[in-house]
Structure 1
Amino acid sequence: MSTYISDDVRCEITAARLASLKKLSRLRVRAGQEVYTILRMWRGGFSVEADTVPPLRGLVDLYDGERHLCQCLIIGSEPEAGERRYEFKRNTAATETAPLDHYREPGAPAGLLPRF
């Protein structure tokens, strides 16, 4: 039995694998005004489709649907098996509110009422 797979079959298998990853993913990367689908994500980075997504660099935003997850500084690598991998150089989680510049007591009032 031969373990040789022709290039045509290998390309079709890779295309089917990428299509299934793309269909299942809700994760998106936004670079400038462009938005691209993330195929896979792990603790130190993510991957996108190499053929349709131009090489990304610098500061990007990651989204899960419409929810902003984080802002990242990324480093790219060479495409492999139809995917281009990116590693996080810096990964800052997005928050709903601005950070406080002072410590707030747990039982402190939310604000002061004026005297009338």
Structure 2
Amino acid sequence: MSFLPKEISDGLERARKLAERKNPKLKVCIDGQNHRVLSAWDDGFALDPDVRIRGRVALYDGERLISHCLIVASEEADGERRFEYKRITEAVEEQPLDFYRAPDAPVALLEQH
């Protein structure tokens, strides 16, 4: 939850997306193969024209998972194969809990041997 004014929050989000577009570490992973993203925008990204992928892919910034995407190839232009998102799901750092956890509860239990 953010307590920043909407204008500032929107500006930070635009800056984050712009930084992702210019980031040379962006890559797409599908079936254990990584492909470097040449450029990215709000609705998709571009890869090398020889790359033929579709379906569900994972988008990484270096080693950090950014999102899971369902993609389709849209066109080939300017020496790039462009892909559009049919669906994009942002990755989260923590898994949601389906039960209440007390704030002072132990993280793990160690057995005595």
The aligned counterpart of 1:97 is 94
**Match of residue 36 from structure 2:** 37
Any idea what SS the aligned residue of 2:56 has?
Answer: strand
CA contact (8 A) 2:40 2:46 kept: yes
CA–CA separation in structure 1 for the residues paired with 2:70 and 2:104 = 35
In 2, Cα distance between equivalents of 1:78 and 1:44: 13
Gaps of 5+ in 2: 1-22, 107-113
> Which residue of 2 is the match for residue 81 of structure 1?
78
Within-5 A mapping of 1:101-116:
101=98, 109-111=103-105
Counterpart CA distance in 2 for 1:86 and 1:38 is 11
- Where do 1:12-31 residues align within 5 Å? 25-31=24-30
- Structure showing greater radius of gyration is 1
Instruction: Indicate how the Cα distance of structure 1 residues 94 and 78 shifts in structure 2: closer, same or farther if over 3 A, else same.
Output: same
Q: How many residues align?
A: 84
The Cα offsets for residues 6-46 of structure 1, whole Å up to 9 and x where unpaired, read as xxxxxxxxxxxxxxxxxx61100001111010011111111
**Aligned partner letter, 1:64:** D
Distance in 2 between residues matched to 1:40 and 1:103, nearest whole Å: 42
Q: What is aligned with 2:63?
A: 66
**Cross-structure match for 1:20:** none
**Structure 1 stretches lacking a partner, 5+ long:** 1-23
Separation of aligned partners in 1, 2:105 and 2:100: 15
Cross-structure match for 2:13: none
1:68 Cα offset (Å): 0.6
